[in-house]
Amino acid sequence: MKYEYIRLDDKPDKKFVSVFLVIFGFSCLLTSGWWALFLVRVPENENVFWLGTIFLLLFGLFQIYSGLGFAKRYLIVEKTNITIRQNSLLPAKRLTKNSISKLEVRSMDIKFFLNNGNIFRLRLGLKYPDLGENVKTRIIAWSEENSIDLFYKYDKI
């Protein structure tokens, strides 16, 4: 089996959107820097102004981070490994076939039961149902190729 990359977002970002995110992020950083200099000079400033400045600084950093392409969510399926990044801020989780004891497939998520007793849950969600079905069928095919126990549990709504 070859390397297969599946995006967990609806569609890839356009270059214009990425450039706009980076420019907007830098403008947020400049605004927060200017506002911090303004707050240092005013002796009767309040804590809420500092919180706003910190929020604007962190928001600008996130905009640059996502504009440069580091906030992509994806699923990588290889011969014996699956790499899942379902959160744009947290690092990817790499699961090998030897570390997974069984899989439980549900209607909106997949649970990976690991050999060390932990459970990793991949949430498919309702926003993009076609993408969720594509991910689900790909993971089911991977688990059958690697002889991993597979259980189906569909809850009534």
Do 59 and 87 have their domain in common? no
Do 58 and 83 have their domain in common? no
Highest mean pLDDT among 52-66, 85-99, 124-138: 52-66
Do 89 and 111 have their domain in common? yes
Do 83 and 106 have their domain in common? yes
Do 35 and 89 have their domain in common? no
CATH of the domain at 116: 2.30.29
Per-residue pLDDT tens over the stretch 66-85:
999 888 888 899 988 999 99
List, in order, residues 6 or more apart from 65 with CB less than 8 Å away: 25, 71
pLDDT over threshold 60, residue 1: no
Residue 89: domain span: 79-152
Do 104 and 52 have their domain in common? no
Share of the chain above pLDDT 90, in %: 26
Query: Considering the entire predicted model, what is its pTM?
Result: 0.78
Could you tell me whether strands 149-152 and 100-105 are parallel, antiparallel, or unpaired per DSSP bridges? parallel
Q: Structural domain tally of the chain?
A: 2
Query: How does the average pLDDT of the chain come out, rounded?
Result: 86
Per-residue pLDDT tens over the stretch 8-25:
876 767 888 889 999 999
Q: What residue type is 2 in one-letter code?
A: K
